[in-house]
Chain A
Amino acid sequence: MRTALAIARKELSIYFTTPWAYAVFTAMQALSSFFFINNLYKFQQAQELARVYGWEKVPQQFRNLTDGVAVPFWGTVMFITLFVAPFLSMRLFAEEKRNRTFELLMTAPVRPLEIVLGKYLGGLGVITATLGLTIVFPVILSVFGKGESGSALEWSTVLLGYGGLLLWGATCMAIGMFISMLTESQMVAALLSFTVLLPWMFLSGLAEGTEEPVRSLINALSFDVQLSGLLRGVLDLKALVFFVSVIFFSLLLSHRTVEAQRWT
């Protein structure tokens, strides 16, 4: 495990000393800011409308900052992560392969499991940092908002939503890392990861045209359905099991692919 942590540290130092990661951070921050401000304006307008015409004139969700701004905001961040994560995961193995440093890594006294775990922990660190940037927005809301119970936000819901996003980010990184293992080209890795994640994310759209029990099966496999409860403040065991299963399976595939390099 110590070796895996050393690899993770090395990965993180590479991430944080290359401008590429900062370009991704900037894009994440700019996009999420844009959507946050948009949500904030909508909420503000709804509240003004309510003060003039009465609360029954505005939808229920606009009576509360958590429902009106934070929950939709996490939904948007989830969508942005779909675009950002492939750009962060693409270099994990593809870069090593292109630079021919992967052979060196394989000849070093490091087990494939440690390589995979180290690389993944590094990727996990950088996606956590990327998503961590967005926590500034709930903080802004809690500074300026007022709630009848004191706090403007329901922090339990906000933090669970944030946890859900991290789980989603961790899943994207695991899938992205496996795909990065399959190719030397970083762009191909990013594109393939995106091609896999995007339809998987919106699998529930396909469920609309189907009947039971196929519909339930498709919904159970869909990322957005599994995430919807977490983002609104409901922790479901089945959602946790689902995400952990996808991560575990992706790591297993990555491990076997790394191991396969010794046999070919």
Chain B
Amino acid sequence: MKAANIGKILGVFGLLLLLSSPFTLFLTSGSIPIAATKAVAGAIMLGLYFATNFKQFGQFASRRSSFFFGTTALMVLMTLGALVAINYIAHKKNQRWDLTERKVFTLSPQTVSTLKAIKEPVHAIGFVQPDHPAYAGLQATFERYHAEAPDTFDYSFKDPRRHPDLAQRYQLRDSQTTVVLTRGEGANESHTSLNVISEQELTNALLKLTKVRDQTVYFVVGHGEWPLDRQVPMPGQRGRTTSLSELKQQLAQEGYAPRELNLAGGTTVPRDASLVLIAGAKAPFSPPEVESLRQYLAAGGRLLYFAEAYGEPGPELAKLLAEYGVELDKGVVADGQFNGGSPYVVLSLFFGKHEIAQPLSQRQLNIEFPTARSIGVLSQGLAEGVRVTPVLLTSPFGWVETTPDDKPAPTEGEKKGQLNLVTASTRDTSQALARRFDEARLVVVGDSELLLDSNWGHEGNRNLVMNALGWATQQVEKITIRPPDRATSTLELDAEMLNRIRFVSTDVLPLSLLGVGLAIWLSRRNK
């Protein structure tokens, strides 16, 4: 065989290899070395083709038609380039018109104003696999947000299976639909995540992310509270230590600044406090310390109190809690039926009608309390304007075990039934002097061990704590967006009418067209 013919065959294979190398890289193997090998081999084969058919090129170039083909190739390439450019611009500066009657594919005015108010770029990462049913809807939602604020709202999708590093960084769990909103870069990056994906949730997360910066959370110390960084021995587990470092890290990631605060010596709560948190006090608070907290709450402060089963905050703090409608019961909560292996490890899936509980209830997340105290709700002796709402309860089989060292069983005189594990109190402080907020908020959680590093991995617990924190520090009201829907329309057809429609559609119409075709065919044939 002539060298020129061999060159032609090589040229064809070379072209195939060269053109298919992008598919190898992006679609089939994803391997750069394989794709590069194919491309290089293809280029060499094409080179051999040109080398062995050089004479023909010389003849071709001298022909008149060659000029036409040359200019055509150039024109086609230039047109293609121009079209790609136009499409790129159209993609970047896309305009869209929602022609549905109720604008069902248009963002609500609340979302539009939220997006307009964003000063710093926000990036949304959808940790959703492409084959997930929610993928297309989420992408469409992201696109609408991006179209409204192209300079400040951007998005991308990441497959959590391919990016375990990111999944770990944002503390994601397998098989859950998650969106993470991030703002800032590097050490200044703050983020918030959400699982229920809708316009309402996304816009509220956006609000939270943009408002949360520089919120200081003060951790009260001085009464044996769990330390933020320092390791302390874990109760009942020899050789193991624990701290609140995981919580601290999460707070920093979500834009909160955690600080320690010792109220001894008549120290008042600093003015920049967005929240005061008491994480498992084991020793009593002194009257001046409680007075500082009382004044703070009376001026619209926000307090999160995590009770410790084996410790007492003292009568002064108990009095303050009573003013806000809550009282810690003596003893440890036990549950014979809903527990995590031991009656004292209480499992709760019983949520109250409170904003903190809503997302947990929607996602059906169980909360596990290692050693909890139950909370009594008071109706008398409350400060003016106080309202208390249960957030989380035990099952109806719960009881307060007053002698936890004995065999766990409900005995005479012990509180039984569905017990409160978390409560939320509010107080109208709009008339208070030097008020911080118009409403004081207090969340009392029956267990402080939820906060410990060793328990932080439990998704339900972590969500409960962060929801409580979010609710307590909330400075802007969450917005409610009612998803628009098309006008309801119905079809009331009886079987006979439906059959008639079927007959006309599937029988009369196609046969009529076939009849016309046959008539034309016959008339043409007979001509």
Contact = CB atoms under 8 A, between A and B. Distances in A.
Interface stretch (A79-87, A103-111, A233-241): A233-241
A208 interface: yes
Interface stretch (A35-43, A92-100, A120-128): A35-43
A214 B485 contact: no
Query: Which of A34, A151, A263 has the most chain B CB atoms inside 10 A of its CB?
Result: A263
Given A30-B510, A64-B486, A43 B99 contact: no
B86 A146 contact: no
A232 B103 CA distance: 11
Contact of A212 (B87, B98, B156, B524): B156
Interface stretch (A165-173, A179-187, A249-257): A249-257
A233 B105 contact: yes
A23 B517 contact: yes
A234 B103 CA distance: 9
A65 B510 CA distance: 24
A234 to B, nearest CB: 5
Contacts of B60: none
B94 A238 contact: yes
Interface stretch (A4-12, A137-145, A188-196): A137-145
A235 B97 contact: yes
B231 interface: no
Contact of A148 (B83, B96, B488, B518): B488
A114 interface: no
Contact of A152 (B97, B156, B491, B497): B491
A147 interface: yes
A65 B489 contact: yes
B492 A146 contact: yes
A36 B486 CA distance: 21
Query: Which of B69, B105, B502 has the most chain A CB atoms inside 10 A of its CB?
Result: B502
Contact of B87 (A157, A215, A245, A259): A245
Contacts of B79: 248-249, 252
A25 B486 CA distance: 33
A25 B75 CA distance: 38
A237 B270 CA distance: 54
A36 B510 contact: no
Contacts of A260: 68-69, 72
B130 interface: yes
A46 to B, nearest CB: 10
B112 interface: no
B238 interface: no
B511 to A, nearest CB: 8
Interface string B497-511: 110011011100111
Contact of B130 (A40, A145, A153, A208): A208
A215 B130 contact: yes
Nearest to B521: A19
A212 B159 CA distance: 10
Contact of B96 (A29, A133, A153, A229): A229
Contacts of A229: 96, 105
Contacts of B487: 64, 147-149, 154
B162 interface: yes
Contacts of B117: none
Given A36-B505, A256-B72, A238 B87 contact: yes
B26 A234 contact: no
Contacts of B506: 30, 33-34, 37
A18 B501 CA distance: 29
B157 interface: yes
B493 interface: yes
Nearest to B157: A212
A206 to B, nearest CB: 6
A136 interface: yes
A208 B72 contact: no
Contacts of A209: 27, 130
Interface in B91-127: 91, 94-101, 104-105
B90 interface: yes
Nearest to A212: B156
B96 A249 contact: no
Contact of A37 (B65, B80, B505, B510): B505
A116 to B, nearest CB: 14
B12 interface: no
A205 B524 CA distance: 46
Nearest to B156: A212
Nearest to A206: B27
B76 interface: yes
Given A22-B516, A210-B27, A253-B76, A241 B491 contact: no
B75 A256 contact: yes
A65 B491 contact: yes
Contacts of A210: 26-27
A241 B485 contact: no
B501 A37 contact: yes
A261 to B, nearest CB: 11
A153 B493 CA distance: 16
A138 to B, nearest CB: 12
Contacts of A147: 487-490
B64 interface: yes
A214 B506 CA distance: 43
Contact of B94 (A34, A236, A245, A252): A236
Contacts of A44: 491, 493, 498
B514 interface: yes
A37 B502 contact: yes
Interface string B66-86: 001100100110011001001
Interface string A209-222: 11110110000100
A145 B517 CA distance: 33
Contacts of A212: 156-157
B513 A25 contact: yes
Nearest to B522: A19
A23 B516 CA distance: 10
A23 B159 CA distance: 47
B520 interface: yes
B131 interface: yes
Contacts of B524: 17-19
Contacts of B493: 44, 144
A30 to B, nearest CB: 4
B490 A145 contact: yes
Contacts of A133: 509, 513
B491 A64 contact: no
Contact of A29 (B101, B501, B513): B513
18 contacts: A17-B524, A19-B524, A34-B506, A37-B505, A137-B505, A147-B488, A149-B487, A151-B489, A152-B489, A156-B99, A157-B100, A215-B157, A233-B100, A238-B94, A242-B90, A252-B76, A259-B72, A260-B68
In the A-B complex, the 9 residue pairs with the closest CB atoms: A22-B517, A147-B489, A19-B521, A208-B130, A241-B90, A30-B510, A33-B505, A233-B100, A263-B65
Interface of B: 26-27, 64-65, 68-69, 72, 75-76, 79-80, 83, 86-87, 90-91, 94-101, 104-105, 130-131, 156-157, 159, 162, 485-493, 497-498, 501-502, 504-506, 509-511, 513-514, 516-518, 520-521, 524
